[in-house]
Amino acid sequence: MRLAVVNLDRCIGCESCVLACSRTWYHAFSYDLSRIQIRTAGGIEGRFVVAVCRACSDPPCARSCRTGALTPRKGGGVILKPELCDSCGLCQKSCIIQGAVRYDDSGKPLICKHCGICAKYCPHEVIKLEKIKEPEEVEVEPKEV
């Protein structure tokens, strides 16, 4: 299972998801100790942005990791072995979603486990846990002229 942002336009910016993540995984009231982030682009009159791991099938963050701390997780996303992480920062740089990979105070990445606790507290089904589809093999066949 992986998290998917399915109804972004419904987001009201209440940050109940952020608080659920920090409460559940870090026992904290925190914005930063959360693996999901909500912010605005263009202020409240603009749009909300949900920054969370997309559970890529072949995650660029894991590819960028030179120490083997990040390895692909079955069903998408990555698993962190913190003892192998040397806090080089490459995983953050490799992710195209700004804010999806961030670090705790010790410099280790906060890795989303796709547990779905954030989706449980979303009042409008902006985020959902869903089964990841294996990417289909892309077959390129020569077209007959």
Partner 1 sequence: MARILYINLTKREHFFVDRHDLSEKYIGGVGVASKLLLEECPQGIAPFSPDNPIILATGPMTGMFPVITKTVACFKSPLTNEYGESHAGGRLGAAMRWAGLDAIVVKGKANRPAYISIHDSEVKVKNAETLWGMSSIRTVGRILREVEPGAGRRSILRIGRAGENLVRYACVNVDTVRHFGRLGLGAVFGSKNLKAMVIEGTNDLFFKDVKKYSKVYDEIFGIVCKTKEMQKYHDLGTASNVIPLNAMGALPTRNFSSNTLENAERISGEHFAEHYLARKTACVGCPVGCIHVGWLREQFADEHEYFTVYTPYDYEPIYAFGNNLGISDPHEVLRLIERCEVFGLDAITTGVYLGWLTDALSNGVVTTKDTGLELKFGESEGYYHAIEKIAERDGELYDTLADSLDSTVKKYGGEPFTSQTAGHPIAGYATGIANILGHTFGARHSHLDNAGYSIDQKLAGKSFTVEEVVDMIISEEEFRQVLTSLVACLFARKIYTEDRIVACLDSIGISKSKEELQKIGKEIMANKNAFKKREGFDISKVKISQRLLDCPTPQGKLSQEDIRKGIDYYIKRMENIAKKAE
Q: Residue count at the site for partner 1 (CB under 8 A)? A: 29
Q: Please report how close the Cβ of residue 52 comes to partner 1 at its closest, in angstroms.
A: 12
Token pair for residue 83? Answer: 């003892």
Q: Rounded to whole angstroms, what are the CA distances from 53 to 2, 31, 44, 92, 102?
A: 9, 16, 23, 11, 10
40 binds partner 1 (CB under 8 A): yes
84 binds partner 1 (CB under 8 A): no
By CB under 8 A, which span of 36-44, 59-67, 85-93, 126-134 interacts with partner 1?
36-44
Q: Which of 118, 116, 111 is nearest to 72 (CA)?
A: 111
By CB under 8 A, which span of 26-34, 66-74, 84-92, 134-142 interacts with partner 1?
26-34
Phi, psi of 65 (to 5 degrees): -75, 120
